[in-house]
Amino acid sequence: MGTILFPQHVIARKRDGAELSREEIDAFVRGATDGSWADYQLSALLMAVFLKGMSPGETAALTDAMMRSGVVADLSAIKMPKADKHSTGGVGDKVSIHLAPMVAACGVAVPMISGRGLGHTGGTVDKLESIPGFRMGLSIAQYSAEVARIGLSLICQTSELAPADRKLYALRDVTATVESIPLICASILSKKLAEGIDVLVLDVKHGSGAFMKDKARARELAVALTSVAKAMGKPARAVMTAMDEPLGHAVGNALEVAESIECLRGSGARDLMEVTYALGAQMLVLAGAAKDVPAATARLEASVSSGAALAKFRELLEAQGGDPRVVDDAARLPQARTRRPLASTATGFVARVDAMGVALAALRLGAGRAKAEDRVDHAVGLTCLVKVGDRVSAGDPLCVVHSNDERAHAEAQEMLESAIVVGTAPVRPPPLVGEVIG
């Protein structure tokens, strides 16, 4: 019979800076999953980890225990290489929606389990759920069958997958322990590695609209994520990308889906496609489907120009009950009652489009959630958003505001007027894609 590990003893060891054993970490995760640890005990250990940190070995053990707290998808019967991408989140970041069919069209399966947004804008799930009829709530069995059949599936996290993470994330959110790098690593990787993938590419963002504002701290997270994934036998790379202004020209759920469809048609915004190709190329190289980044980029570009990626997206919609007619007619997506341009009051060059300011304006319109139980308005948001460096004249639109509420529109417009700055001197946009780690 094994030693009984009392929660208070495990908490005390981490409080005092000790390295926890595999058995102690397993007991903690089991306690979160089956309720044998009280919320106050789980919270105490989360705070001890936040203050004292975890070694790479501890973080890998925590990730593995959280991954095994539920079902781990077995996609070994699918002979195609299987790759996924995860972003640490940003404003206007709709990359997954068009990247997944592009990569799948290149012969690499993309089993992707995504989350809902909590904060300024919706998550990938919220965006895709703006497509009439599209079903994200597939079981792991249905998801596995879809990946085998079309090489692609985009679903929301199910109750079968990493249940310990749902409990611990909720507690981290209310105990001010969200920013701990070991806890972030375990949360992200426990879900991603339970998908049944072979390789993982991470988009780690830094800047005003990112979860990690500080670039050095974001790099620390990127190193930790790739190291832990490697320790668990999964090759991973992290691409550092800037999030000081929103990606693309649209912010808001249905509006971002429409922009992703334009990307698949070959008319995506320059910055959005730069990030898309950087991440997609790493997925293909890591999965062994291309010898290097230039060859991988050429394959991805060909998937768009040939129409293969758009056809794969249509196939995804049909497989998950979505209306495939949105591919040809974006008006079938939810539409806001009013669309009004926000005019520039000055002539000059766009000096700043503050990502967080734009995000908060979108949140005020109803495009995101301030609280987990809030409903998202899929129709609202912004389109035609200017980019840093653009030349504008007085009276030109800085963006178009899509709204369903007059008061929200007025308040969002005021926020946007502060977030978008026009100066007199030409501005060179800062680099977007940076270091590749791992």
- Here the CATH number for the domain that contains residue 417 is 3.90.1170.30
pLDDT of residue 3: 66
Residue 348 lies in a domain: yes
Is residue 90 domain-shared with residue 14, that is, in the same domain?
no
249 contact partners, CB below 8 Å, separation of at least 6: 92, 259, 269, 383, 384, 385, 387
Residue 60 lies in a domain: no
Catalytic residue ranges: 86, 165, 172, 187, 191
Express each pLDDT in 162-200 by its tens digit.
Answer: 999 989 988 998 898 988 999 999 999 999 999 999 999
Structural domain containing residue 42: 7-53
Is residue 319 domain-shared with residue 343, that is, in the same domain?
no
Is residue 111 domain-shared with residue 176, that is, in the same domain?
yes
* 128-137, 204-213, 251-260: least confident range: 204-213
Is residue 176 domain-shared with residue 127, that is, in the same domain?
yes
pLDDT of residue 17: 96
Is residue 319 domain-shared with residue 357, that is, in the same domain?
no
Q: What is the mean pLDDT of residues 406-410?
A: 97
Please work out, in degrees rounded to the nearest 5, the angle formed at the alpha carbon of residue 284 by the alpha carbons of 279 and 289.
170
Beta strands 348-353 and 391-392, pairing class: antiparallel
Please give the Cα distance from 432 to 140 (Å, whole number): 35
Please work out, in degrees rounded to the nearest 5, the angle formed at the alpha carbon of residue 221 by the alpha carbons of 218 and 226.
130
Q: What is the mean pLDDT of residues 53-66?
A: 96
Residue 181 lies in a domain: yes
Residue 150 lies in a domain: yes
Q: Comparing 121 with 57, which gets the higher pLDDT?
A: 57
pLDDT of residue 1: 43
Query: Pick from 15, 38, 53: which residue ends a domain?
Result: 53
Is residue 91 domain-shared with residue 239, that is, in the same domain?
yes
- Structural domains counted in the chain: 3
Residue 71 lies in a domain: no
pLDDT of residue 2: 54
pLDDT of residue 113: 87
Query: Is 210:220 a contact under the CB 8 Å cutoff?
Result: no
DSSP-derived 3-state class of residue 317: helix
Q: pLDDT tier at 4 (50, 70, 90 boundaries)?
A: confident
Is residue 127 domain-shared with residue 203, that is, in the same domain?
yes
pTM: 0.93
Is residue 152 domain-shared with residue 231, that is, in the same domain?
yes
Is residue 22 domain-shared with residue 160, that is, in the same domain?
no
CATH number at residue 173: 3.40.1030.10
- DSSP per-residue codes, 191-206: HHGGG--SEEEEEEEE
406 exposure class (CB count in 10 Å sphere: 0-12, 13-18, 19+): exposed
Query: Pick from 327, 354, 381: which residue ends a domain?
Result: 327
Residue 65 lies in a domain: no
Query: Pick from 273, 299, 327: which residue ends a domain?
Result: 327
Cα dihedral across residues 282, 288, 289, 293: positive or negative: positive
Is residue 274 domain-shared with residue 416, that is, in the same domain?
no
